[in-house]
C-alpha cells in the first residue's frame, strides 16, 4: 500500500485491498509471524465517540504485533472537555505515538487531523462519512465466504448515515460485484455516494423491499439505524424497527447466503438468526484483528 494515511475507502485500489487481505490471511494462518514485528512502537487511540470492536481490535492488533497503545480515553476524562481543539489534541498525541487511530463525530475530521501531523492517521469513523478499516475486514469476510468477483451483495438499512455502508460501497466498485441497496426512501444512499458509484460504472440497484432481491444475494450486509445522527427524534421514530431479519425472512435466501453486520445490532437481526449457518457477523468482528494487524503492519 502506498498511502501515508487511511482516510476513506475511496483511496483504496483493488491492489491495495488485496495486499492488506493477503497479509491478514498470513497473520490469520500463522499468528506467530507477527510477534515482535513492531516491538517498541506505539499506536495512539483517540476516540471521540463510543467504540467496542474498533478500539479493542486495534489494541489487540497492535499488541499481537509486539507494539503497544496509548489511549486518550473518553472525551469526558480528556482535555477535550476543557475545550481543546482536535488539531491541538492530535499534535500532542503525535509526539507520543507512531500512528494515530481517530474516531470523531464530525465528517472530515480524520482528513483534517492528517493535515496537522506527520504520523499515519487511520480514520476509524468520521460521523456519517467513512470507516475504511471496517471495510477491509468486511471485504476479508466476503472474500472468505463468497469470493470477491461475480457476486451479488445486498446492503440494507441506514444507507444515508451509515459510514460503513459508504466505505463498503466505494470499495466494492474495485470488484465485479452487483450492489443492491435496500432501504426506506428516507434512508437512501446520499446523492454524493450515488454519484461516485455511477461514475465508477458500478452495477447498482436500489430497492425498498428486501423480498425483491433476497433470493439472488450471496451476501446480505445489514446495518443499524444510526440514531445518533438524526437531527430529530421524530424522524428516527418514523423509521425505527422498519425491518428485521428473522429465520422466516431468510427462508427465501440461498443456502449459502452470508448475513453480515458491522455491529452493534439493535433489533435488525433477530437473535434466532445467530444459530443458523447464515450468521457471519461475529466471525466478521473477529476478522478485525488480523485485518487491522495487516493494516498497521503496512502503515507503521
Ligand atoms: N460500529 C459501526 C460504526 O462505528 C457501525 C455502527 O455503529 O452502527 O460505524
252 is in an annotated binding site: no
**Which H or E run includes 99?**
strand 99-104
Please confirm, yes or no, whether 2 is among the known catalytic residues. no
- Residue 267 pLDDT: 93
For residues 12 and 6, give the distance between their C-alpha atoms in angstroms, rounded to a whole number.
9
Cell numbers of 291, please?
Answer: 485485518
- Residue 64 pLDDT: 96
Catalytic position from the list 5, 64, 103, 104: 103
Query: Could you give the dihedral angle defined by the CA atoms of residues 82, 228, 47 and 154, in that order, rounded to the nearest 10 degrees?
Result: -160
- Residue 76 pLDDT: 85
Query: Per CATH, which fold does 132-285 belong to?
Result: Rossmann fold (3.40.50)
pTM, two decimal places: 0.97
Work out the number of other CB atoms within 10 angstroms of the CB of residue 110.
31
For residues 136 and 139, give the distance between their C-alpha atoms in angstroms, rounded to a whole number.
5
Please confirm, yes or no, whether 103 is among the known catalytic residues. yes
- Residue 95 pLDDT: 96
Please confirm, yes or no, whether 280 is among the known catalytic residues. no
Q: How far is the CA of 106 from the centre of ligand 1 (A)?
A: 14
CA distances from 103 to 51, 128, 258 (A): 9, 11, 28
Residue 247: DSSP 8-state: T
63 is in an annotated binding site: no
Is the alpha carbon torsion for 297, 41, 121, 263 positive or negative? positive
Q: Which residues contact 143 (CB under 8 A, 6 or more apart)?
A: 21
In this structure, the residues whose C-beta lies within 6 A of any atom of ligand 1 are 125, 131, 163-164, 224, 262
Work out the number of other CB atoms within 10 angstroms of the CB of residue 263.
18
Mutating to test ligand 1, I would choose from 138, 164, 282, 285 the residue with most ligand atoms within 8 A of its C-beta, which is 164
Residue whose cell numbers read 487531523: 113
54 is in an annotated binding site: yes
Q: Which residues contact 8 (CB under 8 A, 6 or more apart)?
A: 111, 123, 129, 130, 132, 167, 170
Phi-psi region at 65: left, alpha or beta (left = phi > 0; alpha = psi -120 to 50): alpha
- Residue 2 pLDDT: 60
Catalytic position from the list 54, 141, 173, 280: 54
- Residue 1 pLDDT: 60
CA angle 145, 146, 150 (to 5 degrees): 170
292 is in an annotated binding site: no
163 is in an annotated binding site: yes
- Residue 77 pLDDT: 82
Work out the number of other CB atoms within 10 angstroms of the CB of residue 131.
25
CB contact at 8 A, 130 and 166: yes
Q: What is the pLDDT along the chain (300 residues), one digit of tens a residue?
A: 667 899 999 999 999 999 999 999 999 999 888 999 999 999 999 999 999 999 999 999 999 999 999 999 988 888 888 888 999 999 999 999 999 999 999 999 999 999 999 999 999 999 999 999 999 999 999 999 999 999 999 999 999 999 999 999 999 999 999 999 999 999 999 999 999 999 999 999 999 999 999 999 999 999 999 999 999 999 999 999 888 999 999 999 999 999 999 999 999 999 999 999 999 999 999 999 999 999 999 999
CATH of 9-130+287-299, one of 2.60.40.10, 3.40.50.300, 3.40.720.10, 3.40.50.1370: 3.40.50.1370
Q: How far is the CA of 162 from the centre of ligand 1 (A)?
A: 7
CA angle 14, 179, 257 (to 5 degrees): 100
Every domain of the chain with CATH number 3.40.50.1370 lies at 9-130+287-299, 132-285
Mutating to test ligand 1, I would choose from 125, 130, 132 the residue with most ligand atoms within 8 A of its C-beta, which is 125
Please confirm, yes or no, whether 194 is among the known catalytic residues. no
Secondary structure of the chain: what % helix, strand, coil (to 5)? 45, 15, 40
- Residue 56 pLDDT: 97
CB contact at 8 A, 149 and 119: no
Count of alpha carbons within 13 angstroms of residue 119, beta-carbon side:
22
Q: What angle separates helix 163-172 from helix 132-146, to the nearest 10 degrees?
A: 60
CA distances from 115 to 41, 42, 182, 224 (A): 22, 20, 36, 31
Indicate which residue's Cα is closest to atom 2 of ligand 1.
Answer: 262
From the list 137, 131, 141, the residue with the least C-alpha distance to 101 is 131
Please confirm, yes or no, whether 131 is among the known catalytic residues. yes
Amino acid at each position: 500500500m502506498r498511502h501515508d494515511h487511511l482516510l476513506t475507502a475511496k483511496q483504496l485500489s483493488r491492489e491495495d485491498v488485496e495486499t492488506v487481505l493477503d497479509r491478514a490471511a498470513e497473520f490469520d494462518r500463522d499468528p506467530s509471524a507477527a510477534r515482535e514485528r513492531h516491538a517498541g512502537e506505539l499506536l495512539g487511540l483517540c476516540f471521540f465517540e463510543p467504540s467496542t470492536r474498533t478500539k479493542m481490535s486495534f489494541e489487540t492488533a497492535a499488541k499481537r504485533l509486539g507494539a503497544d497503545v496509548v489511549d486518550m480515553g473518553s472525551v469526558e476524562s480528556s482535555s477535550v472537555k476543557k475545550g481543546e481543539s482536535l488539531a491541538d489534541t492530535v499534535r500532542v498525541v503525535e509526539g507520543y505515538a507512531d500512528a494515530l487511530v481517530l474516531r470523531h463525530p464530525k465528517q472530515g475530521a480524520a482528513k483534517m487531523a492528517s493535515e496537522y501531523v506527520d504520523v499515519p492517521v487511520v480514520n476509524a469513523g468520521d460521523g456519517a462519512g467513512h470507516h475504511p478499516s471496517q471495510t477491509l475486514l468486511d471485504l476479508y469476510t466476503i472474500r472468505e465466504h463468497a469470493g470477491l468477483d461475480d457476486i451479488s451483495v445486498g446492503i440494507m438499512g441506514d444507507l444515508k448515515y451509515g459510514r460503513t455502508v459508504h466505505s463498503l460501497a466505494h470499495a466494492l466498485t474495485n470488484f465485479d460485484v452487483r450492489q443492491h441497496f435496500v432501504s426506506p426512501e428516507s434512508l437512501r444512499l446520499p446523492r454524493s455516494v450515488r454519484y461516485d458509484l455511477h461514475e465508477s460504472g458500478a452495477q447498482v440497484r436500489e430497492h425498498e423491499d428486501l423480498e425483491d432481491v433476497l433470493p439472488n444475494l450471496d451476501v446480505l450486509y445489514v446495518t443499524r439505524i444510526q440514531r445518533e445522527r438524526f437531527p430529530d427524534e421524530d424522524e428516527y421514530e418514523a423509521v425505527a424497527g422498519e425491518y428485521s431479519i428473522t429465520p422466516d425472512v431468510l427462508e427465501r435466501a440461498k443456502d449459502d447466503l452470508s448475513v453480515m453486520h458491522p455491529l452493534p445490532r439493535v433489533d435488525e437481526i433477530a437473535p434466532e438468526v445467530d444459530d443458523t449457518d447464515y450468521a457471519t457477523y461475529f466471525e466478521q468482528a473477529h476478522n478485525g484483528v488480523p485485518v487491522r494487524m495487516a493494516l498497521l503492519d503496512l502503515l507503521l
